[in-house]
Each structure stands twice: as structure tokens, then as C-alpha cells.
Amino acid sequence: MVINLLNLFFPRVCLGCSTHLGDNETYLCGLCRHNLPVTNFHFDQNDTVKNALYGRIKLEQATALLHFSKKGIVQQLMHNLKYRGHEEVGEFLGKWLGEELKSLTAYKAIDVVIPVPLHRSKLRQRGYNQVTKFGQEIAKALEVDFNDLVLQKTLATKTQVFKDRLLRTSGDAATFSISENQSLKGKHILLVDDIITTGATIESCANALFRIEGVKISVATMAITD
Ligand SMILES: [Zn+2]
């Protein structure tokens, strides 16, 4: 009753297409849910994500829940998550992927979930890291720790950017650093992010995390650009 009354004043709408949700629908309407372009990479032992980073970093497991295409439902979901305050998109996708991963032997070796961090100024501006809830839900499903303190994003100095451009082609002006590493020695980390496109962000984060002795890294993202 309370829910129905709330719905009257603040109608719950589908995060994919903005139609009103029925009483038994959450996050997405039935049609959008049915039409979500799931990859099933982790079920099919499909190496698309791993291959995207092949030769750059060594990954144990790597998957993405959805295919991202411009103008599709997934783009709408990502837009709602990043720019319209709908942090619950990450919760929804994290619960979904977490349920799937916990049934797979390959992911049982994970010890800790770490999200790709936002820079402090961006975090202040958005109010939340859009990957936090996604990572927390996956950690909960896998019954492991969630650690959003160890990996940090720092803006590179001009000199660093210049050096980066000389050394690499990605030209990302941000760098990632680790704040401590004792507790993560020898751990298997699941690094989580929203969308994987060129893989440059994942690569930078993984390179920072690989400074911790004996770590293994796997990757899970909400979506992958085709
Ligand atoms: Zn919908």
C-alpha cells in the first residue's frame, strides 16, 4: 500500500525506456529486460574481453555482462547511471552478474573486488562512483571483500602526461596509484568497471595493482563496446 501510494506521487519508471513500471517490475520493464543484449561470455568461456587486452596485461578471467551499442537500452542505462543520479542501475547489474559469477568455478578463486576509482573532483561532482554498487553487489554474491581504498586515481602532472604520450598512444591524462599493499599480497583481485572500450583504463589500473606482490587479476564490467 505504501509502495502504491509512493508510486502515485513518484512514479517508478523503467531505466531503459522510461515507461511506468508495474507493481511487480523493478529497475526495468519486462520488454527492456527481455531485450537486454547479454553477452554470456562467462558461461561460454568466451575470451573477447581478455583478447581486447591481450599482450598488454595478463588476466585470469574477464567478462562483461552486456553489449554496448549507441542508442540502445544499454546506452540509456549507462546514461541514467552516470548523469541522472540513478545509482541503482549499478546495483541491478551487480546483483545480476554476481548471481551468475557465483555459480562458476572459475570465479570461486576471487578474494577481493576493487572498483576502477574516480578522481576526487569527479567524485565530488557526481556524488558517487557509478561502479561502487556494482562492485559491492558482486562482492556480496561471491562472499568476498570490497575494497575501494587501495586503488586511487590521480591526475598526472604535465611532465607525466608528456612522458605518457611518448611512451604510449592512449594519451590518458590520469594515472592510478595504490595506497597500501600489505593486505592484498598474493590475492586474486576482481577489477570492476562500467564500460570497456579500448581497455586503456583497465590496463592502467591493472598495472598499478600488479605492483602488489603476487596478485592475480580478473576483470568484470557492466558492458563492452562492440
Ligand atoms: Zn523499458
The answer on 57 and 9 residing in a single domain is no
The answer on 140 and 52 residing in a single domain is yes
The answer on 208 and 161 residing in a single domain is yes
State the distance from the centre of ligand 1 to the C-alpha of 94, rounded, in angstroms.
19
User: What does the alpha-carbon distance between residue 39 and residue 18 come to, in Å, rounded to a whole number?
Assistant: 24
The answer on 166 and 64 residing in a single domain is yes
The answer on 46 and 30 residing in a single domain is no
State the distance from the centre of ligand 1 to the C-alpha of 195, rounded, in angstroms.
21
The answer on 104 and 18 residing in a single domain is no
Q: Coil, helix or strand for 174?
A: strand
For the stretch 165-188, pLDDT in tens is: 555 544 445 689 998 767 899 999
State the distance from the centre of ligand 1 to the C-alpha of 79, rounded, in angstroms.
14
Number of domains composing the chain: 2
| Strand arrangement of the beta sheet that strand 62-68 belongs to | 62-68, 216-225, 188-196, 112-115, 145-146
State the distance from the centre of ligand 1 to the C-alpha of 71, rounded, in angstroms.
14
The answer on 52 and 31 residing in a single domain is no
pLDDT (tens place) for every residue of the chain, 226 residues total: 455 555 555 678 999 999 999 989 999 999 999 999 999 999 999 999 999 999 999 999 999 999 998 888 999 999 999 999 999 999 999 999 999 999 999 999 999 999 999 998 889 999 999 999 999 999 999 999 999 999 999 875 555 555 555 555 444 456 899 987 678 999 999 999 999 999 999 999 999 999 999 999 999 999 999 8
State the distance from the centre of ligand 1 to the C-alpha of 86, rounded, in angstroms.
15
As given in the structure block, the three cell numbers for residue 10 are 513518484
User: What does the alpha-carbon distance between residue 128 and residue 136 come to, in Å, rounded to a whole number?
Assistant: 13
Domain span at residue 174?
36-225
The domain that holds 207 is classified in CATH as: 3.40.50.2020
Beta-bridge mates of residue 153: 176
State the distance from the centre of ligand 1 to the C-alpha of 27, rounded, in angstroms.
9
The answer on 184 and 78 residing in a single domain is yes
In the chain the first and final C-alpha atoms are separated, in Å, by 43
User: What does the alpha-carbon distance between residue 36 and residue 89 come to, in Å, rounded to a whole number?
Assistant: 13
State the distance from the centre of ligand 1 to the C-alpha of 136, rounded, in angstroms.
25
The answer on 140 and 215 residing in a single domain is yes
The answer on 41 and 13 residing in a single domain is no
The answer on 179 and 88 residing in a single domain is yes
Sequence-ordered alpha helix ranges (H) in the chain: 2-9, 30-35, 41-44, 48-52, 73-83, 88-101, 120-126, 132-142, 158-167, 200-209
The answer on 115 and 54 residing in a single domain is yes
User: What does the alpha-carbon distance between residue 190 and residue 43 come to, in Å, rounded to a whole number?
Assistant: 17
State the distance from the centre of ligand 1 to the C-alpha of 22, rounded, in angstroms.
11
Burial 20-50 (b: 16+ CB within 10 A, else e): ebeeeeebbbeebbeebeebebbeeeeebbb
